[in-house]
Structures are given as structure tokens and as C-alpha cells.
Structure 1
Amino acid sequence: MILRPRMRSRRLRDRFGPEYDRTVQQAQNRRIAEQDLTDREKRHDELRLRDLSEEETRRYEAAWAQVQAQFVDDPAAALDAADRLVAQAMTDRGYPSESYEQQLADLSVDHARPLSRFRTAHDIAARAERGGVSTEDMRTAIVDYHELFVDLVDADRSGQTRPQH
């Protein structure tokens, strides 16, 4: 079924939220942006994604609690641990780890809402590796990572329902 352009735009805007606006802004035109988003959906449909088991969810939540506790004594190490934990959750859910840009594209289909905050957190973590990031910036990054972390790890808590592939 071919959707009229207006209906297609509305459907994509509803699905991708702020990622729709970001993609349109960065593309040469709306048609190209919407084709990119549609291509992301097609690729996403081919991924073998899965929800985590209750046991895995509990382990992840315990690991996140350790990240938060570690932040008090060593914010930089906690930030690094948060980055690695989110990456591991992506992998365990079935998202490929080809490249950061591809991860963003794949995540945008089901996790568009926390994606801009994930970008911010990732950028802060990259700057932290080179030094010169304040403790407050690291705290912001931890909070931003946590939003995607919750969305990935606990579908019930995040309000998402995801099909099993």
C-alpha cells in the first residue's frame, strides 16, 4: 500500500518524534529524509531484536546501581561504565554494533525519544576521555544514558511494547 505523502509524513513523525525533525533538518529535502527513515524501518525489521528476560533485567538494574554508586568516588570511571553498560544492553537486545552512526539509525526506530540525550551523553563521554569535562557534565551524561538504558532494559517501565523478532 502506498501512503499519500501527508499520511506518510505524519506516520513517520509519530514514530520517530524528534528524530524525524532532526533528519529532515539535516537532509537536502523532506523526501530524502523520509526515505532515510523508511529505510531505517526496513533495516530494523530485519534485525533479530529481543526483550531481556526478567533475570537479565535485574542484573542490568543492579549494574546500573553500581554505576550510580561509583559516580560518588570516581565520576569519570562511572561515566565510562555507563557507556559500556548501555552498549552491552544494545548488543544483548540484538542491535548490531557496526558503527556509532548505524547504532543511532537502528535505535531511532524504537528508541527515538531518548536518542538526542544519548547523543549528548556519548559526546560528553568522548570529551571526558580527553579530559576537561566537569563533574556536572558527567552527571548530565549519566542521567542522559539512564534514559536510553531504561528504554532498552525494561520495556514495561518505559511504556514500550516491542514485537519479538
Structure 2
Amino acid sequence: MSAIAWVVVVVAVVVALGAIGYVVAGQSRRRHLQDRFGPEYDRVVQDADNRRDAEQELLAREARYADLDIRPLDAEARDTYAKKWREVQERFVDAPSFAVTEADALVTAVMADRGYPTDEFEERVNVLSVGHAGTLDRYRQAHEISGRAARQEATTEDLRQAMVHYRALFDELLDDDVHAHSPRKEADH
């Protein structure tokens, strides 16, 4: 075999290995994002123009989350918030719409105390999707019901469902173990 033929064979092998590496890296990234974001991965892919754009969006969310100073609540703050939640639940009996509004505000307060951004709902959702993908759809539903409640368009059952949804995220936000699985902590191991 001539030198030119060997060069062609080596270049072809290098290109093939590069292509295989690219595909494997893409699949690994996809698995990581699917595991990390759960149903949010599928939602973002469905809303995006293509899978690559969706995955870039999710990677950007991870980077944004890693830049935040998400911190656990101390025991006193957890107890205070738990007490406030019980009070909100008690008010639900007499004023369900008001209680849902309070539940939304309480979840937002816990987020702020933990270091999450709380200015805009979409920003909250994007950052929460990194560490709380399992309850994100429930949070969206609760927020949507809260908006309908403000316009007096929600039934008592809707309001009850909103409370259940807010409670799921509230419980996760109070849990210190959630912080232990942040991207910054995982990178340290």
C-alpha cells in the first residue's frame, strides 16, 4: 500500500472515531439532561425548534443554577415556614381563594430565603427545573389556578388542587437534602 493510501485510511479512521465520539457525547448529554430534568426535558424539546436548541436551553439553566447561591434553611426558618404553612391550610376552610394566594406567596418567600430568583415566574420555573423537575408541572398548575382564583374563575376543587400542588414544592424547598444534589455539589465529588 502506498503512503497516500495509508494517509487516506488513517484520516478515514480518525474521522469515523470523531463521528462516533460526537454521537456518544450527544447521547450522554441527552441522558444526563433527561435524568436531570425529567418531564421538563420533554416539554422543552416539544416547545423548541429542534432538540439541539432545547438541550442548549437546559444546559444554560444548569449554568444559571450553578451560579446561584442556593442554600439550605436553618432549623428555625424551616419551623417558622412550616408553622406559616399550617396557618395557610387552616385559612383554606373559610377563605380558599385567599389561602391559595398566601400559599403562592409563601412558596415564593421560601424560594427567596433559599437564594432562588423570585422576580418573574418564568425565571423561577427555569431555575426550579434544575433541582425540582419532579414537582415543576404541579407548581405551574398551582400558579395557573392561583391566577384564575384572582379572577374568581376557580372552583373550590381547583383551589384544593392548587394547595396540594403548592405543598409538594413547599415540602421540597424546606428539605435540606435537595441542596445536596445541586450541580455545584455534584461537581465537587
Q: Same fold (TM over 0.5)?
A: yes
Secondary structure, counterpart of 1:144 in structure 2 = helix
The secondary structure found in structure 1 opposite 2:134 is coil
The answer to whether the Cα contact below 8 Å between 2:70 and 2:179 also exists between their aligned partners in 1 is: no
Alpha-carbon distance between aligned partners in 2 of 1:116 and 1:36, rounded to the nearest angstrom: 18
Instruction: Please list every run of 5 or more consecutive structure 2 residues that lacks an aligned counterpart in the other structure.
Output: 1-21
Q: CA deviation at 1:132?
A: 2.0
Percent identity, aligned pairs only, is 46
**AA aligned opposite 2:95:** D
C-alpha contact 2:139 2:166 (8 A) present in aligned 1? yes
Pairing partner for 1:105 from 115, 119, 126: 126
Match of 2:62 in 1: 41
Distance 1:39 1:22 in 2: 16
Provide the rounded CA distance (Å) in 2 between the counterparts of 1:160 and 1:112. Answer: 14
Question: Are 1:125 and 2:146 counterparts?
Answer: yes
Q: Greater relative contact order (Cα 8 A, min sep 6): structure 1 or 2?
A: 1
For the 8 Å contact 2:72–2:179, the answer to whether it is kept is no
The answer on 1:114 being equivalent to 2:129 is: no
Query: What TM-score, normalized to structure 2?
Result: 0.81
- Aligned-residue Cα RMSD (Å) equals 1.7
Greater CA radius of gyration, 1 or 2? 2
1:135 matched to 2:170: no
What whole-Å deviation, never above 9, does each CA across 1:63-117 have from its counterpart, x for those lacking one?
1111111111110111111010000011000011231111110111101110000
The match for 1:54 among 57, 71, 75 is 75
Provide the C-alpha distance between the structure 2 equivalents of 1:18 and 1:58, rounded to a whole number of angstroms.
31
* Aligned with residue 75 of structure 1, among 96, 101, 121: 96
- Are the counterparts in 2 of residues 44 and 109 from structure 1 also a CA contact under 8 Å? yes
- CA distance in structure 1 between the partners assigned to 2:47 and 2:172 by the alignment: 25
Query: Aligned pair 1:148/2:169, yes or no?
Result: yes
Partner of 2:110: 89
- Whole-angstrom distance in 2 between the partners of 1:58 and 1:148: 16
Q: In structure 2, which of residues 84, 98, 117 is the aligned counterpart of residue 63 of structure 1?
A: 84
In 1, are the aligned partners of 2:138 and 2:166 still within 8 Å (CA)?
yes
* C-alpha distance in structure 1 between counterparts of 2:116 and 2:90, whole Å: 28
Q: More helix by proportion, 1 or 2?
A: 2
For 1:125, the aligned partner's letter is S
Query: Match of 1:6?
Result: 27
Mind listing any 5+ residue stretches in structure 1 that lack a counterpart?
A: none
1: CA distance, partners of 2:174 / 2:148: 26
Q: Distance in 2 between matches of 1:100 and 1:72?
A: 27
Q: Which amino acid aligns with 2:62?
A: E
The structural deviation recorded for 1:154 is 1.9
8 Å contact kept, 1:151–1:160: no
Q: TM-score, normalised by structure 1?
A: 0.93
